[in-house]
Amino acid sequence: MEMKIPTITGSPVPPEFTVARHEPPAGTEARGASVHQAEPVYSAEEIRRSAQLLEQTFRLFNKRLRFSVNQEINRVVVKVVDTKTDKLIKEIPPAEIQRLIAKIKETIGLLFDEQI
């Protein structure tokens, strides 16, 4: 039985699942630790394709990925689920950390009236 895994020789990733790498313009390299690096911005379509590629890869290992956004903390949450038992294997970030972030945001909201 032959199993093809994306990115391994002989099993190229389909072009519709590739995401272009965003390189900074020439001459904008960091010159020290104090230079703030802007995070690359990806389109919704690029993120969707990347998520599909991850989901396909995990299916090979009898695992399923669930992506969601925790509106309370405004962060993406990834859940790894066993496809056979439908049991949650891992949650990133863990639920405890999500609750902690929400409490910290709530506490900061009590201390400060507005965000600059």
> What is the domain partition of the chain in residue ranges?
43-116
What are the distances in angstroms from CA 37 to CA 40, 43, 96? 9, 19, 29
Q: What is the spatial distance between Cα 11 and Cα 28, in angstroms, rounded to a whole number?
A: 36
E-state strands within 1-46? none
Cis bond leading into 6, ω under 30°?
no
Q: What is the spatial distance between Cα 35 and Cα 61, in angstroms, rounded to a whole number?
A: 41
Give the confidence band of 4 by pLDDT, cuts at 50, 70, 90. Answer: low
Digit-coded pLDDT (tens) for 77-96? 999 999 899 999 999 999 99
Digit-coded pLDDT (tens) for 41-68? 888 888 888 888 888 888 888 889 888 8
Instruction: Output the pLDDT for position 58.
Output: 86
Give the confidence band of 28 by pLDDT, cuts at 50, 70, 90. Answer: low
